[in-house]
Amino acid sequence: MFELSVKAEISSAHFLRGYEGKCKNLHGHNWKIEVVIQNNQLDPIGMVVDFAILKKQLKEFLYSLDHVCLNDLDYFKKVNPTSENIAKYIYENFGEIIAPLKLKHVQVWESQSSSVVYYE
């Protein structure tokens, strides 16, 4: 089995509805996003997928989440934009873009010391 990963960064604001701490107020993060792809087969030249292609796909996907208030996006008007829900959103939607490749998990860092992993 092979696993490969690529990372990207975005800067976004959000606030947490129903939360009684500082994060109930509008604030921002420099989010780091890692996607991990899993596959047991290689293509004819010995790759799961070209890193350059996967990086480009991830960057294009994350464009809509960069330099915005996440709460203003349709998905996050209904779902609280916690790190957990951001990771799930990326997993579900980016996974569709890269199909038939298998997205193993998504990891989202909201700071250097705080991250969440989502997988199914």
State the catalytic residues.
Answer: 23, 67, 110
Beta bridge partners of 117: 107
Pick from 79, 67, 65, 75: which is nearest to 18 by CA? 79
Pick from 71, 73, 110: which is nearest to 93 by CA? 73
CA-to-CA separations, 110 to 59, 83, 94, 96, in angstroms, rounded: 17, 7, 19, 24
Between the two ends of the chain, the Cα-to-Cα distance in Å is 17
